Chain A
Amino acid sequence: MSSRLSLRDYEQFSAYLDGQLSPAETRKLEEQLKANPEWRLALDELAATRAVVRRAPHYRAPRNFTLSPEMAHQVARRPILPSLFSFRFSAALAAVALIAVLVLQVLPGGGPASRVAMAPPAMPTQGPALSLKTEGQTSRAPEAAPQESVQATAQSTPPPVVVWNGQSNMMDTGSPIALGKGGGGGGGTGSSGAEGGIVTFNQSSPGALMAGGDGGAANTFAPPGAIRRNCNLQRRAGSCPVRADLRSRAGTAPRPYGSPPAICPAGRQRPHSGHSLKPGGRADHCHLPWNARQRFSASNRPSPGPRRSLPCPPVDSGHSAGSGIAGRCIYLVCTPPHLNLHEPFFPRPLLSQLWHSAHPASPFWKRTFHLPVVRMDLL
Chain B
Amino acid sequence: MADDGPSPEDTLEREELNQALQDCLQRLDEEFRAVVIMVDIEGMDYQEVSTALHRPLGTIKSRLARARLKMRDCLHRFWELLPPAFRLENTRSA
Binding site for B on A (CB under 8 A): 7, 10-11, 13-15, 18, 20, 41, 44-46, 48-58
A52 in contact with B41 given A10-B65, A14-B65 (CB within 8 Å): no
Q: How far is the CB of A197 from chain B (nearest CB, A)?
A: 98
Whether B88 and A48, one on each chain, are in contact in the complex, defined by CB atoms closer than 8 angstroms, is yes
Q: How far is the CB of B89 from chain A (nearest CB, A)?
A: 10
In the complex, the 3 A-B pairs of residues with the closest C-beta atoms, listed nearest first:
A14-B65, A49-B72, A11-B65
Chain A residues with Cβ below 8 Å from B77 are none
Whether B65 and A7, one on each chain, are in contact in the complex, defined by CB atoms closer than 8 angstroms, is yes
Chain A residues with Cβ below 8 Å from B88 are 44-45, 48-49
Complex: A73 Cα to B59 Cα, angstroms? 33
Complex: A354 Cα to B39 Cα, angstroms? 114
Give 18 A-B pairs besides A45-B88, A56-B40, A58-B42 with Cβ atoms closer than 8 angstroms.
A10-B68, A11-B65, A14-B68, A15-B65, A18-B46, A44-B88, A44-B91, A49-B68, A49-B71, A50-B40, A52-B21, A52-B71, A53-B36, A53-B41, A54-B41, A56-B21, A56-B41, A58-B41
Complex: A20 Cα to B48 Cα, angstroms? 13
- The 7 sampled A-B contact pairs (Cβ below 8 Å) are A14-B65, A15-B61, A20-B46, A45-B88, A52-B86, A54-B40, A58-B41
Q: How far is the CB of A52 from chain B (nearest CB, A)?
A: 5
Complex: A46 Cα to B36 Cα, angstroms? 13
A11 in contact with B75 given A54-B40, A56-B18 (CB within 8 Å): no
Whether A10 and B69, one on each chain, are in contact in the complex, defined by CB atoms closer than 8 angstroms, is yes
Whether A55 and B92, one on each chain, are in contact in the complex, defined by CB atoms closer than 8 angstroms, is no
Whether B91 and A48, one on each chain, are in contact in the complex, defined by CB atoms closer than 8 angstroms, is yes
A41 in contact with B65 given A46-B72, A52-B21 (CB within 8 Å): no
Whether B21 and A14, one on each chain, are in contact in the complex, defined by CB atoms closer than 8 angstroms, is no
Residues facing A in B56-82 (CB within 8 A) are 61-62, 64-66, 68-69, 71-72, 75, 82
Chain A residues with Cβ below 8 Å from B64 are 14, 18
Tell me which of A18, A41, A51, A52 has the highest count of chain B C-beta atoms within 10 A of its own C-beta. Answer: A52
Complex: A13 Cα to B92 Cα, angstroms? 17
Chain A residues with Cβ below 8 Å from B72 are 45-46, 48-49
Number of interface residues of B (CB under 8 A): 29
> Which partner residue on chain A sits nearest B24 by CB separation?
A53
Chain B residues with Cβ below 8 Å from A45 are 72, 88, 91-92
Chain A residues with Cβ below 8 Å from B17 are 52, 55
Tell me which of A48, A50, A53 has the highest count of chain B C-beta atoms within 10 A of its own C-beta. Answer: A53
Tell me which of B46, B62, B65 has the highest count of chain A C-beta atoms within 10 A of its own C-beta. Answer: B65
- B2 close to A (CB within 8 Å): no
Whether B82 and A52, one on each chain, are in contact in the complex, defined by CB atoms closer than 8 angstroms, is yes
Whether B61 and A11, one on each chain, are in contact in the complex, defined by CB atoms closer than 8 angstroms, is yes
Complex: A314 Cα to B78 Cα, angstroms? 123
> Which partner residue on chain A sits nearest B22 by CB separation?
A56
> Which partner residue on chain A sits nearest B73 by CB separation?
A49
Chain B residues with Cβ below 8 Å from A20 are 45-46, 61
- B94 close to A (CB within 8 Å): yes
Residues facing A in B21-44 (CB within 8 A) are 21-22, 25, 36, 39-42
Chain B residues with Cβ below 8 Å from A46 are 68-69, 72
